Amino acid sequence: MAPHAEEPNGYTNGTTAASAGNKDLFTVESPSVTYTDDEIKSKYVYRTTSVAKNGDKYVATPKETVYDFKVERKVGKVGMMLVGWGGNNGTTVTAGIIANRRGLTWDTREGPRASNYYGSVVMGSTMKLGTEAKTGKEINIPFHDVLPMVHPNDLVIGGWDISGLNLAEAMDRAAVLEPTLKSMVKKEMAEMKPLPSVYYPDFIAANQGERANNVIEGSKASMAHVEHLRKDIRDFKQSHSLDKVIVQWTANTERYADIIPGVNDTADNLLKAIEQGHEEVSPSTVFAIACVLENAPFINGSPQNTFVPGAIEFAEKHGAFIGGDDFKSGQTKMKSALVDFMINAGIKLTSISSYNHLGNNDGMNLSSHKQFRSKEISKSNVVDDMVEANNVLYKEGEHPNHCVVIKYMPAVGDNKRALDEYYAEIFMGGHQTISMFNVCEDSLLASPLIIDLVIIAEMMTRISWKVDDGKDYKGFHSVLSILSYMLKAPLTPPGTPVVNALAKQRGALTNIFRACVGLQPESDMTLEHKLF
């Protein structure tokens, strides 16, 4: 591997042999697809089914819409700024990228381990490209090679934290990584120090107060805070000659903000509320507004309602990208996959009970009821769309009982214990119970999601579209629902359905990227094998 490059002010950047270049692994031979040095252009026929109700029956009508997609091939130099950079997730993802950049191998009691990006959809999974003509063999390619994407090794990393510890000290405090690995990256991590962050004590648990020694002056929202954060983003971008910056909230879970007419219900009211220092404007919402004004995509990785209606409207007005909420890493990802399977198998879930205990700082913060309530909402709503989609098993208004419990147990550290019981009705009045015990190394599951969210958000800044040979290309909607696979409580454009089913989320991500190179979704019908 090529040696990493160090930059001033505690940030790191580097290009390795593994990340250099964006050469195409494949090309599409089709009159609907054209390649230039700068762009990939494709014409894509989107086929859907329109349904109309006629009395107690339905009429289904196939529809076709022709889209033109354009993808900018040049990735440019990308920065990732994390809010809560000194936390468990922030230090883990930073150390992980440094280790991958340098191709590190370290000793553990179970033998040597090598750096990798396991757990990342973009870096660790594949996509079916098609079927080889001669052999009929399926050809799968790395997901990262579907379109020209930034490689995580090339990200320039920075961020904010209410704690002033440098990242080496914060990494030790997090107690996530092996000591041997920590010693290998310690020198670089020690040179990184988070920028001061905004701190409004009412929004996070009181037990976080002793950490708050690196804060911007002022304990309530203000336009001064918005401008301070904007300047931080501009300075970071300029000092590292970046083409764009992606910002992600990986800090503490906040309490829910009350939605109050005249305060945070519209973009204009939200700006007035910030100017007036209203108590229902959260730190994460202030970050979101600053990012929108700097046209830096902002992703919320915690469960609070950062994107109040006024924040969504503000992003829409400025054509800026936002995404959220809450990293979907362990227990909830398993739940969304298992519930999807059971309901699609015709099994009627009647109750789901989920118990967690964990000992990291996230657990300590969630020991406060207001912050726990934010997490409870994001973990509980994950089955709603799957239940509503099956009106054979569930009549209108019917829903499984669903209970979520989280307890703080310091001794287990970052090794979260998740215990779930699924109770269901089966054939002829019978019952099935599935019990699951899941030990999740929390930050090692969340860190690859941080990487995926940044890579995909950046990718979306280079994709534009138009319909039926329209004159002007435009970007996707400000709310990046394509990020849903990585998030517990997916944010969707107002008035559009929320999809929590894991397979549908993965399918949307894969098929949008396929459309950008003029390829239809893989139907998995394999008729080429069945009809001959």
Q: Which two tokens stand for residue 434?
A: 């599935």
Q: Which of 161, 416, 442, 452 is catalytic?
A: 416
Q: Please give the Cα distance from 63 to 469 (Å, whole number).
A: 17
Eight-state DSSP code of residue 474: B
Q: Which two tokens stand for residue 297?
A: 């995509």
Q: Which two tokens stand for residue 507?
A: 């399918």
Find all residues with CB under 8 Å of 365, minimum gap 6, and list them: 204, 205, 207, 208, 252, 253, 371
Question: Could you confirm whether 416 is annotated as catalytic?
Answer: yes
Q: Please give the Cα distance from 153 to 120 (Å, whole number).
A: 13
Q: Please give the Cα distance from 341 to 226 (Å, whole number).
A: 44
Q: Please give the Cα distance from 475 to 460 (Å, whole number).
A: 8
Q: Which of 182, 333, 375, 379 is catalytic?
A: 375
Residue 9 zone, left/alpha/beta (φ > 0; ψ -120 to 50; rest): left
**φ and ψ at 229, to 5 degrees?**
-70, -40
Q: 213, 205, 201: which is closest to 86 by C-alpha?
A: 213
What residue type is assigned to position 478 of the chain? S
Q: 185, 189, 211, 215: which is closest to 200 by C-alpha?
A: 215
Peptide bond preceding 468 in cis form (omega within 30 of 0): no
Question: Could you confirm whether 348 is annotated as catalytic?
Answer: no
Residue 380: how many CB atoms within 10 A of its CB? 17
Residue 235 zone, left/alpha/beta (φ > 0; ψ -120 to 50; rest): alpha
Distances from the Cα of 520 to the Cα of 28, 46, 504, angstroms: 12, 9, 16
What DSSP string runs through 129-194?
A: EEE-TTT--EEEEEGGGSS----GGG-EEEEEESS---HHHHHHHHT-S-HHHHHHHHHHHHT--P
- Three-state secondary structure string covering 395-459: CCCCCCEEEEEEEECHHHCCEEEEEEEEEEECHHHCEEEEEEEEEEEHHHHHHHHHHHHHHHHHH
How far separated are the first and last CA of the chain, in Å rounded? 48
Residue 139: how many CB atoms within 10 A of its CB? 13
Q: Which of 232, 326, 414, 452 is catalytic?
A: 326
Q: Which two tokens stand for residue 279?
A: 């108590």
- In the block, residue with structure tokens 């700024």: 81
Question: Could you confirm whether 375 is annotated as catalytic?
Answer: yes
Question: Could you confirm whether 442 is annotated as catalytic?
Answer: no
User: Could you tell me how many residues make up the chain?
Assistant: 532
- Catalytic residue numbers, as ranges: 326, 375, 416, 488
